[in-house]
């Protein structure tokens, strides 16, 4: 069954005026949550993050305060939000996605920053090395740039004659750009920098591809329902990097559990709040990647999912 999503905006405090919330936050160690996506896309992640903090002894509005801000997939908003957190003098900034991590890095060299999802932290300049991050940033990699080959292999099990692939990606996201360049097949690339670019991309790719690969990016995740609706409309199977896409009608995903990544991010925050320097906490790489398949979407596309693939799936949505 498809998991029910809910929106977590920091409890009742989300509705308070900014000045009142800042005053309340000033009494407690404050975490600035820099959301690259829309809050609805991150609801399960924030819930997991807050729950893990609670397990570690940090209860929101008792031991800590959390200030949430959302860029809604717009990269240009990230720098503004990061600077706002600097002005609020938060104790830790938590973010996800390479653009979010880079925006926080540019905004401050003093406030600790924990990132939950960055495709290539070293290659994109977020940290110096994984073992010794250096500076004020540390967190978790989701290794998205290393997975296109595996995702393509899985897609070919469902679409055996696949020769040409359409890629939707946001090249203004450095990790997304690297991921797009690592897909080893003839491709037609479509640049998505705004939500308004999605529908024209599908109009342009009609008849030019046998499947759609959606590169990892929070603008695309925020618009996952629109992407999957349009893909179904042109009868194209989709491959994604996160389970949320498949829950929203995508065909398949292969990647780390984002929810688990945010749980681990809470462990990083706990260490920092207790005095450990970010530079001394190694960046963590995932050890498990989940395969999720949507059988309802497969049926709508007229595709038969091989039994061997279904047996390997970590979750099957029916």
pLDDT-based confidence at residue 181 (cuts at 50, 70, 90): confident
Strand 113-118 relative to strand 92-95, pairing? parallel
How far does the chain reach from its first CA to its final CA, in angstroms?
Answer: 6
Q: For residue 289, give Cα distances in angstroms to 56, 99, 143, 149, 217.
A: 25, 23, 10, 14, 18
pLDDT of residue 187: 76
Of residues 188 and 133, more confidently modeled: 133
Domain 11-143+257-280 has CATH 3.40.50.2300: yes
For the segment 213-271, what is each residue's pLDDT rounded down to a tens digit? 999 999 999 999 999 999 999 999 999 999 999 999 999 999 999 999 999 999 999 99
Confidence check: pLDDT of 130 > 60: yes
Concatenating the DSSP letter of every residue in 27-84 gives TS-EEEEEESS-TTTTHHHHHHHHHHHHHTT--BTTTBEEEEEE-TT-HHHHHHHHHH
Strand 252-255 relative to strand 290-294, pairing? antiparallel
- Rounded to 5 degrees, what are φ and ψ at 56? -90, 0
CA distance 203 to 214: 16
pLDDT of residue 208: 86
Residue carrying the six token digits 């820099």: 34
Q: Distance of alpha carbon 186 from its chain centroid, rounded?
A: 26
* Closest to 44 in 3D by CA, of 261, 297, 285: 261
> Domains of the chain: which residue ranges?
11-143+257-280, 145-255+290-317
Q: What is the DSSP secondary structure assignment for residue 190, as one 8-state letter?
A: E
Walk across the sheet containing 186-191 and list its strands. 186-191, 164-169, 211-214, 238-240, 252-255, 290-294, 315-317
- Rounded to 5 degrees, what are φ and ψ at 14? -65, -25
CA distance 232 to 253: 16
- Check if the beta carbon of residue 46 is closer than 8 Å to that of residue 68: yes
In this chain, the answer to whether the domains covering 11-143+257-280 and 145-255+290-317 adopt an identical fold is: yes
pLDDT of residue 11: 38
pLDDT-based confidence at residue 23 (cuts at 50, 70, 90): very low
For the segment 200-228, what is each residue's pLDDT rounded down to a tens digit? 999 998 888 999 999 999 999 999 999 99
pLDDT of residue 19: 42
**E-assigned strands of the chain?**
30-35, 65-70, 92-95, 113-118, 137-141, 164-169, 186-191, 211-214, 238-240, 252-255, 290-294, 315-317
pLDDT-based confidence at residue 136 (cuts at 50, 70, 90): very high
Average pLDDT, the chain: 89
For the segment 49-106, what is each residue's pLDDT rounded down to a tens digit? 999 999 999 999 999 999 999 998 889 999 999 999 999 999 999 999 999 999 999 9
Q: How is residue 6 written in tokens?
A: 């809910």
* Closest to 129 in 3D by CA, of 316, 294, 285: 285
Of residues 73 and 316, more confidently modeled: 316
Length of the chain: 318
- Check if the beta carbon of residue 212 is closer than 8 Å to that of residue 236: yes
Class for the domain spanning 145-255+290-317: alpha beta
Please state the pTM of the whole predicted model: 0.86
pLDDT-based confidence at residue 283 (cuts at 50, 70, 90): very high
- Check if the beta carbon of residue 136 is closer than 8 Å to that of residue 278: yes
Residue carrying the six token digits 């938060």: 90
**E-assigned strands of 101-175?**
113-118, 137-141, 164-169
């Amino acid at each position: 069954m498809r998991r029910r999503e809910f929106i977590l905006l920091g409890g009742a405090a989300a509705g308070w005026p900014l000045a009142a919330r800042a005053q309340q936050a000033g009494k407690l160690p404050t975490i600035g949550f820099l959301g690259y996506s829309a809050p609805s896309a991150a609801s399960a992640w924030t819930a997991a993050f807050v729950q893990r903090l609670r397990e570690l002894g940090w209860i929101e509005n008792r031991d800590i305060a959390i200030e949430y801000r959302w860029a809604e997939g717009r990269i240009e908003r990230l720098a503004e939000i990061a600077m706002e957190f600097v002005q609020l003098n938060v104790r830790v900034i938590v973010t996800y996605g390479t653009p979010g991590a880079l925006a926080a890095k540019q905004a401050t060299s003093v406030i600790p920053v924990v990132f939950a999802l960055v495709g290539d932290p070293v290659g994109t300049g977020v940290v110096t090395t994984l073992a010794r991050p250096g500076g004020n940033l540390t967190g978790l990699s989701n290794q998205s740039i290393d997975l296109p080959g595996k995702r393509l292999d899985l897609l070919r099990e469902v679409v055996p004659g696949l020769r040409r692939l359409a890629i939707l990606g946001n090249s203004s996201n450095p990790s997304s750009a690297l991921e797009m360049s690592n897909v080893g097949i003839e491709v037609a690339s479509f640049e998505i920098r705004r939500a308004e670019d999605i529908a024209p991309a599908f109009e342009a790719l009609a008849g030019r591809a046998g499947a759609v690969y959606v590169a990892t990016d929070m603008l695309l995740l925020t618009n996952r329902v629109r992407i999957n609706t349009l893909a179904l409309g042109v009868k194209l199977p989709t491959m994604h990097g996160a389970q949320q896409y498949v829950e929203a009608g995508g065909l398949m995903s292969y990647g780390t559990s984002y929810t688990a990544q945010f749980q681990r991010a809470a462990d990083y925050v706990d260490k920092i709040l207790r005095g450990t320097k970010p530079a001394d906490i190694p960046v963590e790489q995932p050890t498990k990647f989940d395969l999720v398949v949507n059988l309802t979407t497969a049926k709508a596309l007229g595709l038969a999912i091989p039994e061997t693939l279904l047996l390997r799936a970590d979750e099957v949505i029916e």
